[in-house]
A and B are shown apart, each in its own frame.
Chain A
Amino acid sequence: MRLILPFAGLICAAILLLSMRQPIAAPKMQLSEYGFFEGKMADLKPAKGVFPYEVNAPLFTDYAEKSRFIYLPEGKKMLYKSAGAFELPAGAVIIKNFYYAQDYTASEAERLRTCRILETRLLLRDEKGWKALEYVWNADQTDATLEVAGASTPLSWVDAHGKKQQIEYAMPNLNQCKGCHSYDGQFVPIGVSARQLNQAEKSDNQLLTWATNGWLELPSDFNPATSPCMKDYRRLEENADKNATALAARAYLDGNCAHCHNPHGPASTSGLFLEYDQADPEKFGVNKPPVAAGRGSGNRRYSIVHGKPNESILLYRMEENDPGIRMPELGRQMAHQEGVELIRQWIKQM
């Protein structure tokens, strides 16, 4: 026994090391194998180490609803950054589920009952960097399977206005994930950033909650009010003034366009930069002629023409559904009516 004990320690250490060398980043065939959710999978009830998050200016993807979670390995925390994505520890996973109810005119209980989860996208952090994995849910809603080449499925629902919508719902392949999640060619998260996560106007700011729970390292002098924070464009009041509309519009463009349209993103070729903090009007499109838009220009001369939404290329590409014209290129087949209206208002009020 005396002989074995020291060895037992060694063996334990070895097992521990080995298990640590089996990072969660190793792709699993089934989503259930990660154990992110407990109970019935489709309820998406987070297991230990998994917590939900909300973004201020979400990306529109054909009216899909999304639920977002972060998994952190035991004892590890995220590091706050004021610009760009937070630093996440190796082993961390960002989890995003896409779902639709059958009928958006129905009661909440009914919507919940008829909910269909289509896909779960994972961003996994390992020692080397980030990678993406796509999981497609089965019809029984019991699990989701890894699909590197993406997939598509017919989908229909009744929207909030009672209109039946029908699309071939597309789920991305791994390269398409990087089509948006790219900074100087490196894979990066988008939504896990100060301007998307800082809920400066809310009393229960999620950043502060996470700091309290030990999930996030905040600077000691962190002040939500003076830190980057985008307006939630969905909560724009009906009679909003020009400035409020502009803030909402810029948040919308950041959330929906700036992942590519920034000097380090895939659309750096275009010279059109739509980040929330882009101060140069020419760079965010005012009187800017297109570079390689081709027929995407729609016979309009500038990205944004002051006061003239119908002469602005930006709006044209948001309204069109042709794959050679529409923007964003990926993630939507339908126009986002509310988004289009917001940008129209903003340009009109310029």
Chain B
Amino acid sequence: MRYFIFHSFYLTRLLIALSGIFPAWGLQAQADIEKQLQTRMILAEDGDVIELPQGFVTLSNTLWLDGKNNIVVRGAGEGKTILSFKNQKQGAEGLKVTNAKNITLQDFTIEDSKGDLIKTQTVNGLVFKNITARWTGKPKASNGSYALYPVQCFNVRIERCTAIGASDAGIYVGQSDSVWVTDCYARNNVAGIEIENTTNAWVWKNKSEDNTGGILVFDLPDLMKKRGGHVQVYDNEVKANNYRNFAPKGNIVGKVPPGTGVMILATNDVDVHHNQILNNKTASTAIVSYFIAETPIKDTLYNPYPTNIRIHDNTYSKGKRMPTWKNKLGFIFWWKFGRKVPHILYDGIQNPDHLDASGQLRSEYRICIKNNQNGSFANIRADKIGLFKGDISKDIRPYDCSK
């Protein structure tokens, strides 16, 4: 076992105390800690535990771990080890892990990076555990995009983590496979938890509240990993996700209406069940195609339709709250339903190739909705909708897949 010499509690405390008395010296000490940490990450050997020092550590550059196997990066605990990138000068991310195997990141707080807080790319075997990743202060568009951001990773476990203030998604899993997100907490992000172009994801027992959207399951065009799907979303608390959308324009989450609980966009095989989806004022659960984004699709391999979706055994409530009208989708809901927006909304845009002779989606593509408490429903038939015309159907019977 190799211990990192400078992680001593007292030494860090002393440095922090001294930095108050001798500011320049403190800065120098912080720069030394940064350099030592980065050196440690570069020289780490298979099986090493890299200890992050206790205390408030200010960093000016991305900490980067590349090409390593079986490494644990461990702090003294959330709120005890705080990596602050408030004065970041270089590199967009806070902590970055790339081209690695079996990496565990745990027990620290990381905050205020210019870009993403923790980005991991092409890592096989990855654990995020007991990490608070946040932007301090009022949520704003100048916050970074993602708090926890595994992309192109395999075998990812995100557990007991907290994500706050991301201008895109708090916990964002992109183009990955075999993913657990559990026991996490997401607040004041545009999207609390987002699973994008990712296969085999289990999202359970999380709490996502006071975001613009609680839990999003998206498939987008133009990506290397073409298709996500096989996603389970269950036993989550998805509450009061009514926060204003502060995403910079151009980003897909910028189109998510404030007041969205769970949104499934163009993904295949998604099972949403046994969730508490409460007090989300616009769309408790939305099942939509990519056409909602109103962006032309040029990716010929892309499937813009949500298919094989199951929404069951969820509990819904929200009282009589107005949906947002600061967003096109929200405005349509408001116009069509007023205060009484149904909980489960389907855009009704279907691929003609997915239909059987009677005009219904074939069984492998069906949208199945049943046994939800308070689960009112509408197919808004967005391909036909207009402000003064419209063909909304509240008939839920076609979505009972036991028939």
On whether the beta carbons of B248 and A185 are closer than 8 Å, the reply is: no
The one of B36, B99, B168 that contacts A292, using a Cβ cutoff of 8 Å:
B168
On whether the beta carbons of A329 and B167 are closer than 8 Å, the reply is: no
On whether the beta carbons of B248 and A269 are closer than 8 Å, the reply is: no
The one of B64, B144, B149 that contacts A173, using a Cβ cutoff of 8 Å:
B64
Interface assignment of A297: CB less than 8 Å from any CB of chain B? yes
Q: How far is the CA of A200 from the CA of B265 in the complex (A)?
A: 50
Q: 18 A-B pairs, CB-CB below 8 angstroms?
A: A148-B43, A149-B35, A150-B38, A173-B64, A174-B42, A175-B65, A178-B67, A178-B99, A185-B99, A289-B252, A290-B250, A292-B149, A292-B172, A293-B145, A294-B146, A298-B248, A322-B114, A329-B115
The one of B66, B92, B174, B252 that contacts A324, using a Cβ cutoff of 8 Å:
B92
The one of A268, A295, A313, A323 that contacts B91, using a Cβ cutoff of 8 Å:
A323
Give the interface size bracket for B toward A. 35 or more
CB distance from B53 to the nearest CB of A (A): 16
Q: How far is the CA of A333 from the CA of B89 in the complex (A)?
A: 9
On whether the beta carbons of A289 and B92 are closer than 8 Å, the reply is: no
The one of B67, B90, B175 that contacts A323, using a Cβ cutoff of 8 Å:
B90
On whether the beta carbons of B145 and A148 are closer than 8 Å, the reply is: no
* A295-B42 contact given A266-B98, A329-B92, A330-B91, CB 8 Å threshold: no
On whether the beta carbons of A269 and B146 are closer than 8 Å, the reply is: no
Q: How far is the CA of A51 from the CA of B122 in the complex (A)?
A: 37
The segment from B220-228, B324-332, B361-369, B388-396 that touches chain A is B220-228
Near B by CB (< 8 A), chain A positions 292-350 give 292-302, 313, 322-325, 329-330, 333
The one of A178, A269, A287, A295 that contacts B144, using a Cβ cutoff of 8 Å:
A295
List, in ascending order, chain A residues with CB within 8 A of B249's CB.
297, 299-301
* A287-B65 contact given A266-B121, A295-B248, A323-B88, CB 8 Å threshold: no
List, in ascending order, chain A residues with CB within 8 A of B146's CB.
292, 294
Residue of A nearest to B145 (CB): A294
List, in ascending order, chain A residues with CB within 8 A of B296's CB.
287
* A301-B250 contact given A322-B114, A323-B88, A330-B90, CB 8 Å threshold: yes
The one of B64, B113, B250 that contacts A175, using a Cβ cutoff of 8 Å:
B64
List, in ascending order, chain A residues with CB within 8 A of B38's CB.
149-150, 173, 175
The one of A150, A179, A295 that contacts B167, using a Cβ cutoff of 8 Å:
A295
On whether the beta carbons of B141 and A149 are closer than 8 Å, the reply is: no
Q: A176-B64, A271-B223, A300-B250 are in contact. List 8 more A-B contacts (CB 8 A).
A: A148-B43, A263-B224, A282-B298, A287-B298, A290-B251, A292-B168, A323-B114, A324-B113
Interface assignment of B151: CB less than 8 Å from any CB of chain A? yes
Residues 133-145 of chain A: 1 if any B CB is under 8 Å from the residue's CB, otherwise 0? Answer: 0000000000000
The one of B67, B90, B99, B223 that contacts A170, using a Cβ cutoff of 8 Å:
B90
On whether the beta carbons of B92 and A293 are closer than 8 Å, the reply is: no
* A294-B144 contact given A287-B296, A324-B113, CB 8 Å threshold: yes
List, in ascending order, chain B residues with CB within 8 A of A291's CB.
220, 222-223
Q: How far is the CA of A268 from the CA of B143 in the complex (A)?
A: 23
Interface assignment of B8: CB less than 8 Å from any CB of chain A? no
Interface assignment of A288: CB less than 8 Å from any CB of chain B? yes
On whether the beta carbons of B251 and A268 are closer than 8 Å, the reply is: no
List, in ascending order, chain B residues with CB within 8 A of A168's CB.
89
List, in ascending order, chain B residues with CB within 8 A of A282's CB.
222, 298
List, in ascending order, chain A residues with CB within 8 A of B65's CB.
175
Residues 74-97 of chain B: 1 if any A CB is under 8 Å from the residue's CB, otherwise 0? Answer: 000000000000001111100010
CB distance from B296 to the nearest CB of A (A): 7
The one of A269, A296, A323 that contacts B121, using a Cβ cutoff of 8 Å:
A269
List, in ascending order, chain B residues with CB within 8 A of A324's CB.
88, 92, 113-115, 142, 144
Residue of B nearest to A302 (CB): B250
On whether the beta carbons of B122 and A323 are closer than 8 Å, the reply is: no
Near A by CB (< 8 A), chain B positions 215-236 give 220, 222-224
**Residues of chain A at interface, number, CB under 8 A:** 43
On whether the beta carbons of A269 and B175 are closer than 8 Å, the reply is: yes
Residue of B nearest to A295 (CB): B248
List, in ascending order, chain A residues with CB within 8 A of B92's CB.
323-324, 329
Q: How far is the CA of A170 from the CA of B251 in the complex (A)?
A: 31
Interface assignment of B360: CB less than 8 Å from any CB of chain A? no
Interface assignment of B39: CB less than 8 Å from any CB of chain A? yes
List, in ascending order, chain A residues with CB within 8 A of B98's CB.
175, 178, 185, 266
Interface assignment of B152: CB less than 8 Å from any CB of chain A? yes
* A149-B39 contact given A293-B145, A294-B115, A295-B141, CB 8 Å threshold: yes
Q: How far is the CA of A143 from the CA of B224 in the complex (A)?
A: 45
Complex A-B, nearest 5 residue pairs according to Cβ-Cβ distance, in ascending order:
A294-B145, A324-B114, A297-B250, A185-B99, A175-B64
On whether the beta carbons of A295 and B220 are closer than 8 Å, the reply is: no
On whether the beta carbons of A292 and B141 are closer than 8 Å, the reply is: no
Near A by CB (< 8 A), chain B positions 100-140 give 113-116, 121-122
CB distance from B279 to the nearest CB of A (A): 27
Interface assignment of B402: CB less than 8 Å from any CB of chain A? no
On whether the beta carbons of B145 and A295 are closer than 8 Å, the reply is: yes
Residue of B nearest to A269 (CB): B151
Interface assignment of B195: CB less than 8 Å from any CB of chain A? no
The one of B41, B91, B174 that contacts A269, using a Cβ cutoff of 8 Å:
B174
Residue of B nearest to A176 (CB): B64
Interface assignment of B295: CB less than 8 Å from any CB of chain A? yes
List, in ascending order, chain B residues with CB within 8 A of A266's CB.
98, 121
Residues 242-279 of chain A: 1 if any B CB is under 8 Å from the residue's CB, otherwise 0? Answer: 00000000000000000000010010110100000000
Q: How far is the CA of A173 from the CA of B151 in the complex (A)?
A: 23
List, in ascending order, chain B residues with CB within 8 A of A173's CB.
38, 42, 64
Near B by CB (< 8 A), chain A positions 176-234 give 176, 178-179, 182, 185
Q: How far is the CA of A178 from the CA of B152 in the complex (A)?
A: 17
* A295-B152 contact given A175-B41, A323-B89, CB 8 Å threshold: no
On whether the beta carbons of A289 and B42 are closer than 8 Å, the reply is: no
Residues 151-189 of chain A: 1 if any B CB is under 8 Å from the residue's CB, otherwise 0? Answer: 000000000000000001010011110110010010000
List, in ascending order, chain B residues with CB within 8 A of A175's CB.
38, 41-42, 64-66, 96, 98
B39, B142, B145, B250: most-surrounded residue (chain A CB, <10 A): B250
List, in ascending order, chain A residues with CB within 8 A of B88's CB.
323-324
Q: How far is the CA of A338 from the CA of B250 in the complex (A)?
A: 27
List, in ascending order, chain B residues with CB within 8 A of A322's CB.
114
Q: How far is the CA of A148 from the CA of B66 in the complex (A)?
A: 13
Q: How far is the CA of A15 from the CA of B395 in the complex (A)?
A: 87
A179, A295, A297, A298: most-surrounded residue (chain B CB, <10 A): A295
On whether the beta carbons of B144 and A329 are closer than 8 Å, the reply is: no
Q: How far is the CA of A150 from the CA of B60 in the complex (A)?
A: 12
